[in-house]
Amino acid sequence: MAYMGAGPKPKGDLARIRSQTGISLLNDTTSNSSVLVEGDRTAIETLLEGLPNWQVFENRQHKLVTGVRFGAKRKHAVSK
C-alpha cells in the first residue's frame, strides 16, 4: 500500500492497518510512503474505504528458475 498524502505515513493510519482483521502488516519501515501488507482482497478493499490517501499496488512473486545465471554468455554448438 502506498500513502499518497503529504508528509510521512500517519501513525493513526498505521495503527488502523495493523488492527484490521484479515490483514497482516509485513513491513512498514523500508519506505516513508509505503507499507507491505498481506491479506484477503475484501479486507484490504474494506480498509481502503476508510483510508482515502492510500492506494494498493499488487505485488506478485514469481519462482525463479534455478541453475540459470543471468548475464552469462551462452556457448553455441558448432555443427560439423
| Domain ranges, residue 51 | 2-55
The verdict on residue 63 lying in a domain is no
Alpha-carbon gap, residue 14 to 31, rounded angstroms: 13
Domain count, the chain: 1
The verdict on residue 8 lying in a domain is yes
The verdict on residue 18 lying in a domain is yes
> Quick check: 79 pLDDT over 70?
no
24-61 pLDDT tens trace: 999 998 888 999 999 988 999 999 999 999 999 887 77
Q: Which pTM was predicted?
A: 0.69
